[in-house]
Amino acid sequence: MEKTKLHAAEEKLKAIYGYDCFRKGQQAIIEKVLDGIDTIGIMPTGGGKSLCYQIPALLLPGVTLVISPLISLMKDQVDALNELNIPATYLNSTLRSDEESIRHSRIKEGYYKLVYVAPERLNHPSFQQLLKHITLSLVAIDEAHCMSQWGHDFRPSYLSISSWLEEIPQQVTVLALTATATTQVCQDLQQFLQIEEQNVISTGFERSNLTFQVKKGVNKKKFMASFLASRKNESGIIYASTRKEVEQIYHELSSVGFDVTPYHGGMNEQERSKGQEAFIHDEAKIIVATNAFGMGIDKSNVRFVLHYNLPRTIEAYYQEAGRAGRDGEDSECVLLFSPQDVRTQTFLIEQSDRTNDRQEMEYKKLQQMTAFCHTERCLQQYILHYFGEDTSKTCGKCSNCVQTGEKVDRTKEAQMVFSCVKRVRERFGKTIIAQILVGSTNQKLKQLNLTSVTTYGLMSDWTQKDVAELIDILMAEEYITPTGTSYPTIQLTEKAVQVLKGEVRVQITESLAPVQPEEQDDVFEVLRKLRKQLSTENNLPPYMIFSDKTLKEMSRYIPVT
């Protein structure tokens, strides 16, 4: 690439956007595009993907077409460009036909450098007619993961893009951009767009200014109230999974004086955009929303994203959480976990009229999302591994890196679980395994002739729920893996075999051990503090003061006042 082209790009960056230097990845992508090479650009949310096509658009002859799924945001995006004196416009179904034809003629005159369209438009006869009269230099596909069935947000309208590209007679450069490409999604994109490996530019997915936390077994309402109370002047997003839940949280928070606005698909267009505008312009500090909110929104000073419920996939989670800290300042991402949310999501997948293959994939993704909540690994690292990035670096600040709970040796219990799985020849799932181990009198066990298994009743001093939770943790740490979907069964991995042989010990962080019923949280916490105090005073490990189980039993019998 010639120096002059890069120089010209840098000049635009300064003169138009007022930025001093390119961010990671931007320069490499812009260089490829200016050299006419088809490219895939992968950068995290907030990484600065828009500049990667906007600056080339200003330097290349003719028009840059931007394909985007976000009809509701096209106007905002175009307005923002116009404010920078960049001639841009959009074509979509919200335009009246006279307005549309005015825009068509101005596009033909060569007035606009950028034209935003939704993928549905590509095959409109009028649009194809228009194309005959203009020079297309660059086609930018924003949110390109929507092309892949393996993406978490597949859109059938995106499928037509690759055949459309093949059919257009003009020689154009293609730039596909996304923040959420797993290895599989990236391979799909390469295949659809015929882009070679060396033209995939990925900056990696790391967001070092974000601190991830998973909170389990907390009373969600109380946690949220105290979390927000200590962040009074900060802007943040609260994601909940249903409209009903959004409404409830909204009413609760506004009734105690929080500056909050709701957002979900059940509200009408006008109400929604009013809320969105208020949030973006800092008139409302907090937005409580379903996942309908956020794609393509560029608000830089979001200081926290709180997930009140479990999202369905890591991709969705990371994209939502990634809306915090676009300005690069430290920001928090907190996920409140409850097992009930897993059941709700499983139910929703069951109810969906998707094909079996698709459902199977969704179960798997949900399982990986659940494992994120149970893992002991660094949370940022877990996400990076999920997206295929091989790293051993830990973030040093997520709720797993900063451990508050003590490690407890659960080798013995893990061995019991593994031998039970082995005894039943890996033919059963979590519930049955837990029932066998606690010695449940459930009729089904009798019918299946499982009460005579040698591991029956081996953990009779545990509750079934706690054993199930332990199994979840062992699964998150990949000692065991689920297989099958409609009747998931559990299989041992090589790691479990080593534990059974006594070669590897299983250490579990105490705070990850069995979850409390919500009402008893406070009592449990008070008791835990007391234990900690006793343990320091007497210089004994906490479990020698009293075990987790005792702690829990005690908190169950002490009334909440």
Q: What angle do CA 182, 483, 390 make, to 5 degrees?
A: 30
SS3 430: helix
Residue nearest to Mg ion (CB): 49
End-to-end CA distance of the chain: 71
290 binds ligand ADP (CB under 6 A): no
Nearer to ligand ADP, 338 or 380 (CB): 380
Among 1, 10, 19, 507, contact with ligand ADP (rule: CB under 6 A): 19
385 binds Zn ion (CB under 5 A): no
398 binds, among Mg ion, ligand ADP, Zn ion, none (CB under 5 to 8 A by kind): Zn ion
378 binds, among ligand ADP, Mg ion, Zn ion, none (CB under 5 to 8 A by kind): Zn ion
**How far apart, in whole angstroms, are the C-alpha atoms of residue 491 and residue 54?**
50
151 binds ligand ADP (CB under 6 A): no
Among 247, 259, 271, 298, contact with ligand ADP (rule: CB under 6 A): 298
Nearer to Mg ion, 68 or 241 (CB): 68
Q: Restricting to residues 465-494, name those near ligand ADP by CB under 6 A.
A: none
**How far apart, in whole angstroms, are the C-alpha atoms of residue 428 and residue 450?**
11
Could you tell me which stretch among 200-208, 397-405, 422-430, 535-543 binds Zn ion (CB under 5 A)?
Answer: 397-405
389 binds ligand ADP (CB under 6 A): no
Could you tell me which stretch among 19-27, 104-112, 275-283, 456-464 binds ligand ADP (CB under 6 A)?
Answer: 19-27
119 binds, among Zn ion, Mg ion, ligand ADP, none (CB under 5 to 8 A by kind): none
Among 22, 239, 337, 386, contact with ligand ADP (rule: CB under 6 A): 22
**How far apart, in whole angstroms, are the C-alpha atoms of residue 48 and residue 332?**
20
Q: Restricting to residues 217-246, name those near ligand ADP by CB under 6 A.
A: none
**How far apart, in whole angstroms, are the C-alpha atoms of residue 548 and residue 456?**
23
Q: Restricting to residues 28-57, name those near Mg ion by CB under 5 A.
A: 49
In this structure, the chain runs to a length of: 561
Could you tell me which stretch among 38-46, 221-229, 376-384, 430-438 binds ligand ADP (CB under 6 A)?
Answer: 38-46
334 binds, among ligand ADP, Mg ion, Zn ion, none (CB under 5 to 8 A by kind): none
Nearer to ligand ADP, 18 or 257 (CB): 18
Q: Find the DSSP H helices in 394-493.
A: 411-423, 430-438, 443-447, 464-476
At position 482, the amino acid (one-letter code) is: P
CA distances 38 to 41, 60, 244, 293, 366, Å, are 10, 14, 45, 31, 34
Neighbours of 502 (CB within 10 A): 9
Q: Restricting to residues 316-335, name those near ligand ADP by CB under 6 A.
A: 326
User: If you write DSSP's letter for every residue of 241-294 in order, what string do you get?
Assistant: SSHHHHHHHHHHHHHTT--EEEE-TTS-HHHHHHHHHHHHTTSSSEEEE-TTS-
49 binds ligand ADP (CB under 6 A): yes
Q: Which has the closest alpha carbon to 404: 509, 491, 488, 531?
A: 509
Extract long-range pairs of 274-282: CB within 8 Å, 24+ residues apart. 279/235, 282/235
Nearer to Zn ion, 378 or 421 (CB): 378
25 binds ligand ADP (CB under 6 A): no
Contact between 5 and 56 (Cβ < 8 Å): no
Which residue bears the tokens 């709970």?
405
Contact between 253 and 286 (Cβ < 8 Å): yes
Nearer to ligand ADP, 80 or 267 (CB): 80
298 binds, among ligand ADP, Mg ion, Zn ion, none (CB under 5 to 8 A by kind): ligand ADP
**How far apart, in whole angstroms, are the C-alpha atoms of residue 473 and residue 507?**
11
514 binds, among ligand ADP, Zn ion, Mg ion, none (CB under 5 to 8 A by kind): none
Among 23, 155, 231, 549, contact with ligand ADP (rule: CB under 6 A): 23
Nearer to ligand ADP, 209 or 346 (CB): 209
Contacts with Zn ion, residue ranges (CB under 5 A): 378, 394-395, 398, 401
Contacts with Mg ion, residue ranges (CB under 5 A): 49
Contacts with ligand ADP, residue ranges (CB under 6 A): 19, 22-23, 26, 43, 45-51, 298, 300, 326
